[in-house]
């Protein structure tokens, strides 16, 4: 009898019976593994969220543990005569700039030509183009047009001058040559070396329609000239762009807003990290609200260390609380910017030393060398978050557990498959025997009934 007809002979040893037995075995052997797998995968997913939160937190710390943040400068300008960019570390100062005149380029206009295709020479030769004391030789021949000559100038001396053709009126085309740079030295002359030009429009016919000149301005009343309207050599770290005539008051100060923005980011990322750690470590008898890491010492230790750092960092000369940082009873951090800015106003060097490291001057004028509160923060937290540190090891343990559980499940499933394949064959064999016994019993019953009838 085929296995597919299991139960046909007896009506007792059916496939449903085997399915029920298989289900009971799976509940005892497979379901616990599935539950453990689900728990380990949930832990791995939760750890990924914690890890991302800690990465954001570390990033915010790295932005404020650098001394460069406190060296950033901002330029406040009253007036429109200048624009100023200040690099980090520029001296903090106030000054006045009065622009008397802007630096200009030399612009020369040729004599008139009837068309841009007009021939400029009757034969082969060359001219000397002098710009700012630099000579350029430009060759021509009897086929050179005004348009060709413009191109030759740009190709040969394009770093120092720009040439273009303008049609002023019908039959009146002029070559305009302007210096690429400003300043009084930007003179432009053209001399015919071969006397082969047709006329003097390009030599003595050149007319200066704008004379190159230096910029003239005063710095705190002192007269200054420069060849360019972009001045980088007046004050170290400042780029001054002269825009128009007039006076401007300039204040170079520490970029206070940039510092405050970074502090706000730190507070925000701290609160996000602690909120996530609170959620995953929450202790409760109610499993629906209990944190998945409520019993995980590594995550609970990380949370405790972050919270303790708020009051322990500082190198013995104070704490973050002295600079306006505070944590309420619910563990939420805040920053009182009034206190923070007052500390910066009083002693910006001490604030920098405390937060980012350096020499801290104590009240008795002794000094203490500090590594910086946020460097301490970073070092402590990165012992958990950096590559192959505590969190990475925890992640690896979850991955290993998942792999081991999946192997156990595969083995258990294969074992059950083998067992129930054997049971199917046995049930089919038993069912065939029962069927034969049933047939024999039926035959004996018929013989007895027949014998009783004739008796």
Same domain, 86 and 10: no
Work out the angle between the directed axes of helices 337-346 and 256-281 (0-180°, nearest 10): 140
DSSP label at 9? T
144 three-state secondary structure: coil
Alpha-carbon separation of residue 287 from 131, 252, 253, 284 (angstroms):
85, 59, 55, 7
Q: Do 147 and 95 sit in the same domain of this protein? A: no
Same domain as 374, residue 384: yes
pLDDT by residue, tens only, the chain of 455 residues = 333 445 555 556 677 888 888 899 889 999 999 999 999 999 999 999 999 999 999 999 999 998 889 989 999 999 999 999 999 889 999 999 999 999 999 999 999 999 999 999 999 999 999 999 999 999 999 999 999 999 999 999 999 999 999 999 999 999 999 999 999 999 999 999 999 999 999 999 999 999 999 999 999 999 999 999 999 999 999 999 999 999 999 999 999 999 999 999 999 999 999 999 999 999 988 878 889 999 889 999 999 999 999 999 998 999 999 999 999 988 999 999 999 999 999 999 999 999 999 999 999 999 999 999 999 999 999 999 888 889 999 999 999 999 999 999 999 999 998 988 888 888 777 766 776 666 666 666 666 666 666 55
Task: Choose the final residue of a domain: 210, 239, 268.
Answer: 210
Burial 345-384 (b: 16+ CB within 10 A, else e): eeeeebbbbbbbbbebeeeeeeeeebebbbbbbbbbbeeb
CB 402 within 8 A of CB 37: yes
- Find all residues with CB under 8 Å of 333, minimum gap 6, and list them: 267, 270, 271, 274, 310, 325, 326, 327
Q: What is the spatial distance between Cα 194 and Cα 188, in angstroms, rounded to a whole number?
A: 19
pTM for this predicted structure: 0.70
Answer yes or no: do 241 and 358 share one domain. Answer: no
Supply the CATH number for residue 200's domain: 2.60.40
- Burial of residue 410 (CB within 10 Å: 0-12, 13-18, 19+) is exposed
Beta bridge partners of 162: 178
Are both 275 and 337 inside the same structural domain? yes
Crossing angle of helices 15-29 and 390-454, rounded to 10°: 150
The span from the CA of 69 to the CA of 447, in Å, is 109
- Enter the tokens of residue 342: 């007052």
Residues 356 and 431 in one domain: yes
Q: Do residue 272 and residue 316 come from a single domain?
A: yes
424, 444: one domain: yes
**Residues in Cβ contact with 53 at an 8 Å cutoff, skipping those fewer than 6 apart:** 269, 272, 273, 276, 277
Shared domain for 113 and 259, answered yes or no, is no
CB burial class (10 A; 0-12, 13-18, 19+) of residue 32?
middle
Please check whether residues 360 and 264 belong to one and the same domain: yes
Number of helical (H) and strand (E) elements in the chain, helices listed first: 10, 19
Do 259 and 249 fall into the same domain?
Answer: no
**How many domains does the chain contain in total?**
3
In which domain, by residue range, is 77 found?
Answer: 73-103+215-254
Judge if 447 and 307 occupy the same domain: yes
């Amino acid at each position: 009898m085929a296995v597919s007809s299991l139960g046909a002979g007896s009506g007792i040893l059916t496939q449903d019976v085997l399915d029920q037995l298989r289900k009971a075995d799976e509940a005892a052997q497979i379901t616990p593994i599935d539950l453990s797998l689900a728990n380990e995968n949930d832990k791995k997913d939760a750890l990924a969220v914690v890890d991302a939160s800690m990465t954001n937190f570390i990033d915010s710390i790295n932005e404020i543990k650098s001394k460069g943040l406190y060296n950033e400068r901002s330029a406040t300008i009253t007036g429109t005569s200048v624009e100023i960019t200040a690099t980090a570390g520029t001296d903090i100062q106030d000054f006045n700039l009065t622009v008397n005149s802007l630096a200009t380029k030399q612009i020369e206009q040729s004599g008139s030509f009837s068309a841009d295709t007009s021939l400029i020479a009757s034969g082969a030769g060359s001219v000397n183009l002098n710009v700012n004391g630099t000579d350029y030789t430009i060759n021509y021949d009897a086929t050179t047009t005004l348009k060709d000559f413009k191109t030759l100038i740009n190709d040969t001396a394009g770093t120092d001058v720009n040439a273009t053709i303008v049609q002023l009126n019908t039959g009146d085309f002029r070559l305009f040559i302007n210096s690429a740079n400003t300043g009084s030295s930007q003179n432009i002359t053209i001399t015919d070396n071969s006397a082969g030009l047709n006329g003097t429009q390009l030599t003595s016919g050149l007319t200066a329609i704008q004379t190159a000149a230096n910029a003239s301005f005063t710095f705190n009343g002192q007269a200054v000239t420069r060849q360019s309207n972009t001045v980088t050599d007046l004050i170290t770290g400042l780029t001054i762009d002269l825009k128009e005539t007039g006076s401007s008051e300039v204040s170079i100060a520490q970029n206070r807003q940039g510092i405050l923005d970074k502090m706000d980011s730190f507070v925000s990322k701290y609160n996000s990290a602690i909120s996530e750690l609170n959620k995953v470590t929450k202790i409760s008898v109610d499993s629906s609200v209990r944190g998945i890491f409520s019993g995980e010492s590594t995550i609970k230790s990380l949370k405790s260390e972050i919270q303790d750092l708020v009051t322990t960092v500082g190198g013995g000369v104070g704490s973050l609380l002295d600079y306006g940082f505070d944590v309420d009873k619910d563990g939420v951090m805040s920053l009182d910017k009034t206190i923070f800015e007052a500390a910066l106003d009083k002693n910006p060097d001490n604030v920098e030393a405390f937060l980012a490291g350096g020499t801290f001057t104590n009240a008795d004028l002794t000094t203490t060398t500090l590594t910086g509160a946020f460097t301490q923060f970073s070092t402590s937290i990165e012992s958990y978050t950096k590559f192959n540190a505590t969190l990475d090891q925890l992640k690896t343990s979850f991955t290993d557990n998942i792999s081991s559980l999946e192997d156990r499940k595969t083995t258990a499933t294969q074992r059950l498959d083998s067992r129930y394949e054997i049971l199917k064959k046995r049930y089919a064999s038993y069912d065939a025997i029962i069927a034969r016994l049933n047939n024999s019993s039926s035959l004996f019953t018929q013989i007895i009934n027949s014998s009783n009838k004739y008796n």
